Amino acid sequence: GAVVSQHPSRVICKSGTSVKIECRSLDFQATTMFWYRQFPKQSLMLMATSNEGSKATYEQGVEKDKFLINHASLTLSTLTVTSAHPEDSSFYICSASWGRTEAFFGQGTRLTVV
């Protein structure tokens, strides 16, 4: 199957700082990447969809100025959590697709804001 690499896998940051999470498709060109958030013991909630070279489409209730998404190339999308606060602590996971039926997921990033 296709490989999607997400980095870092874990990050702890101080309240008020920004954190960048990378999502890379290693062996295919991802025309679309998705960013999800998962709270403990809950399902994945789609935050935004990004297509290479265009602005991300955010789901209702997701602050686009807080969660900055960049999809500058066909193999890389980044999610930046700006001015992070403890309530932003969560598991963030990306997926990538190139028009096939299924999307492939990264390993996820566990963010803890202290």
Residue number, 84 or 94, with CB nearest to other proteins: 94
Residue number, 17 or 42, with CB nearest to other proteins: 42
Q: Please report where in the chains the tokens 């963010």 appear, as a residue.
A: 111
Enumerate long-range contacts of 34-37, CB under 8 Å, 24 or more apart.
34/94, 34/95, 34/96, 34/97, 34/103, 35/67, 35/69, 35/77, 35/79, 35/92, 35/93, 35/94, 36/92, 36/93, 36/94, 36/95, 37/90, 37/91, 37/92, 37/93
In the complex, what is the shortest distance from the CB of residue 83 to other proteins, in angstroms, rounded to a whole number? Answer: 25
In the complex, what is the shortest distance from the CB of residue 95 to other proteins, in angstroms, rounded to a whole number? Answer: 7
Which residues would be at the binding site for other proteins (CB under 8 A)?
A: 1, 31-32, 34, 42-44, 46, 49, 51, 91, 93, 95, 97, 99-108, 110
Residue number, 49 or 82, with CB nearest to other proteins: 49
Residue number, 66 or 108, with CB nearest to other proteins: 108
